[in-house]
Structure 1
């Protein structure tokens, strides 16, 4: 079900892009779902031009497939893109977490705050809150490393990976496992244990491979047959 309850605080195109993107990432709009410009434009009382621009942006991100003379559909998850995103994350974040652990004068308040937010999200089974805090924790680590722009680079390559992450949240055990890993990661960083922090980060980022194997069996409809 397409939710278009936009807040109206930002330009329509920006809000629409964020809303559709979030619904695709969370699996609310499943692969193969057809969406059309005209009905959306009508519901929002806008021309089709901004809607078309949003569709193109989402297609560029690999979230929509625009088939001329046929229609526009939610794209399946491409495993090659998931693996690419994981590779970039592991390569960059293992390096930055070392820098964070080695940094003098580390301030752990931001990390501690995110861990507490994640504990609350796990208790409430709030996947959106957990995902947001997860993102902020990893972003904070790049800031502590003195390389905040690295997170912007990572954001640009992990869209398909994020879809797998959201699907994994259907399991309460997965929530709890990620929280424990984050707690261990923060502990190593604040202890100044660069080797330990890197090892925990590497293992943490590789859990997606187990998630993929499980989801290929439980939710095969989300994945492209072209690996």
Structure 2
């Protein structure tokens, strides 16, 4: 397929090229600008961004390791379909990590953190409800802030690498995004952290991170050709029960 140039995805040629090409292509796959099944080539990408093929080849390898590209020797490179189990596994691991992060924060009860999170919630509420892409960026900022405040910035970087498939699902569901519901869930997390309610913070973040599972069957039905389902069917996700605390 022909790769168009987007101003938001242009390179800074004074900075290292491989990380930029990797980031740009990753974003384009996640945002479904490059769709599952699309074919891309080193030469096209190199020409589009006016770079040599070596950094593009390295970017392809990194993205293949993340499950976003499939490199087929002698047959080209394609954007992978979204793996159903990859989505569930990423969400499961993210829940486990962020639940512990919220327990740490509820135990510490930092007024500065609460002030920052309340300011972020105000920005989320002020956002145009049709700007789902903008909300996803604010949502990522919210969760990254939690991780960094708990001293787990490294864990967040691991989460970012894991959640690529989840993010592809989120961008497929932009038209169905329940922003008000997600903001209310963010508020519940902040309330429980501010109250020092360790069990409640754990419960609130787990409840929030399971929201994607509610819409997953409908998203798959509407975009079946983009998904890799086990034996062509969709088994129900399996979750551990949410333990302890109440969500106000």
Structure 1 contact 117–130 (Cα < 8 Å) conserved: no
Which of the numbers 187, 209, 217 marks the counterpart of 2:191? Answer: 187
The equivalent residue for 1:151 is 156
Matched residues in 1 for 2:190 and 2:172: separation?
Answer: 25
Give the structure-2-normalised TM-score: 0.83
The equivalent residue for 2:121 is 115
1:136 and 2:141 aligned:
yes
Which of the numbers 127, 130, 136 marks the counterpart of 1:125? Answer: 130
User: Number of aligned pairs?
Assistant: 225
Structure 2 matches for 1:166-205, cutoff 5 A? 166-172=171-177, 174-205=178-209
Q: Displacement, 1:7?
A: 4.2
**SS of 2:191 mapped into structure 1:** helix
RMSD value, Cα:
2.0
The equivalent residue for 1:26 is 31
For residues 11-47 of structure 1, the C-alpha deviation after alignment (integer angstroms, 9 at most, x for no partner) is 3322222111111111121100011111222233322
Matched residues in 1 for 2:180 and 2:217: separation?
Answer: 19
Matched residues in 1 for 2:50 and 2:161: separation?
Answer: 31
1:62 and 2:67 aligned:
yes
Structure 1 contact 103–144 (Cα < 8 Å) conserved: no
Matched residues in 2 for 1:168 and 1:41: separation?
Answer: 31
Structure 2 matches for 1:79-90, cutoff 5 A? 79-90=84-95
The equivalent residue for 1:219 is 223
After TM superposition, the structure 1 stretch with the greater mean CA deviation from structure 2, 124-133 or 179-188, is 124-133
**SS of 2:111 mapped into structure 1:** coil
Unaligned runs of 5+ residues in structure 1 are none
Matched residues in 1 for 2:188 and 2:96: separation?
Answer: 20
Unaligned runs of 5+ residues in structure 2 are 232-248
CA distance 1:166–1:73, shift in 2 (3 Å): same
The equivalent residue for 2:242 is none
The equivalent residue for 1:48 is 53
Give the structure-1-normalised TM-score: 0.90
Superposed structure 1 runs of 4+ greater than 4 Å apart: none
CA distance 1:180–1:52, shift in 2 (3 Å): same
